[in-house]
Amino acid sequence: MIKVLHCYKTYYPDSFGGIEQVIYQLSEGGNAVGIQSTVFTLSQNPTEKIEKLDNHYVFRAKTTFDIASTPFSFSAISQFKELAADADLIHYHFPFPFMDMLHFLAGIKKPSVVSYHSDIVKQKALLRFYTPLMNHFLSRVNRVISASPNYAESSSVLQQIKQKVDVIPYGLDKNSYLRNENERIDYWSDKYPDGFFLFVGAFRYYKGLHTLIEAAKLSTWPIVLIGSGHVEQSLKDQAAELGVKNIHFIGALSDADKAALLKLSTCLVFPSHLRSEAFGISLLEGAMYSKPLISCEIGTGTTFINIDGETGIAIPPSDPIALRKAMDFIWDNPDKAILYGQAAHKRFENLFTAETMVNHYADLYRQLLKAD
């Protein structure tokens, strides 16, 4: 049994983002291939002890303070060092600047992997101060993993260390979605009986939802938004100001409700317009349910998942006219939309299952441990 210690700034149940979902899939799926996972994270509600979550373990150290959305912890250094001593390999999840400090302060000498989830895009001023530490950290770990060739090729950081960069796409476990959805199918089909466009995700600055609202002006097709976040009220204000009546903000939902809406939807629309959107787990969810996809070409994993003219439509970012045309095409051409959805599902099965992702990481772990 290989013991792997994952490290990231947040984790379930404190947060439910895409990176947390990837860590969960790796930790749960690893059991089937001889990998025992523990997740080390920071929390405002620390446990200060190892707790079991389904088939893996979690340790939450207490957050001491935050700077620019990055938590720091005084107690974490000794705690991380102790847990690392019992691990065979450390798996870091970037970006998390305090994690880089932990690596050196804890004196980690074991094989180490970094899943490079995203460039640092928003905190450009702080990035200037962090860059020397980041470069030193990335130069010392054994391998750095990008989730798509698109991102590996378009990231200036990854291009500087391309000799140690591999690509392992994210994957989802279909079985974790196909549970209890039938209970909610009737409820949601009564609300939206004629189909709808679906967005799933946190309402963040880079999601491009303001463009979606602009594109929806004078349209009639329903648009259902699952999620919440900091920009939610401004989006609702924008919709009211523009007189957009067909966008439905339904908040964060249970897994069963989300699965039902994915199954009932006409198309998964994902208008993220900035590189902060490094991949797009929601696009995988749409593909898993055989839905046509609409996304923006931003040089990241979104157009590794969604191939323009094959699995859906890729449009320029921040272009409401192009988005409106794409949505009109999907709505007005149901036969073509079905073909896109079938191709999206085939691509999901070939590249993006959790089993495939776990097996690739397991092979990498064994390779590094054998070379150590």
Residue 362 shares a structural domain with residue 275: no
Positive or negative torsion for Cα 349, 3, 115, 45: positive
Residue 188 shares a structural domain with residue 253: yes
Report how far residue 24's alpha carbon sits from residue 60's, in angstroms, rounded to the nearest whole number: 15
Identify the CA nearest to 265 among candidates 327, 347, 204, 214: 327
pLDDT of residue 180: 64
pLDDT of residue 179: 65
Low-confidence ranges of the chain (pLDDT < 70): 123-125, 179-180
- The CATH number of residue 92's host domain is 3.40.50.2000
Report how far residue 237's alpha carbon sits from residue 239's, in angstroms, rounded to the nearest whole number: 5
The string of DSSP letters for 209-221 reads HHHHHHHTTT--S
Say what the pTM is. 0.91
Residue 181 shares a structural domain with residue 289: yes
Identify the CA nearest to 13 among candidates 5, 3, 24: 24
pLDDT of residue 368: 97
Place of tokens 């905190």: 123
Residue 109 shares a structural domain with residue 164: yes
Domain count, the chain: 2
Q: What is the CA radius of gyration of the chain?
A: 21
Residue 250 shares a structural domain with residue 281: yes
Residue 214 shares a structural domain with residue 90: no
Residue 331 shares a structural domain with residue 358: no
Strand partners, 225: 199, 249
pLDDT tens track for 315-352: 999 999 999 999 999 999 999 999 999 999 999 999 99
Report how far residue 197's alpha carbon sits from residue 189's, in angstroms, rounded to the nearest whole number: 13
The whole domain housing 195 covers: 175-351
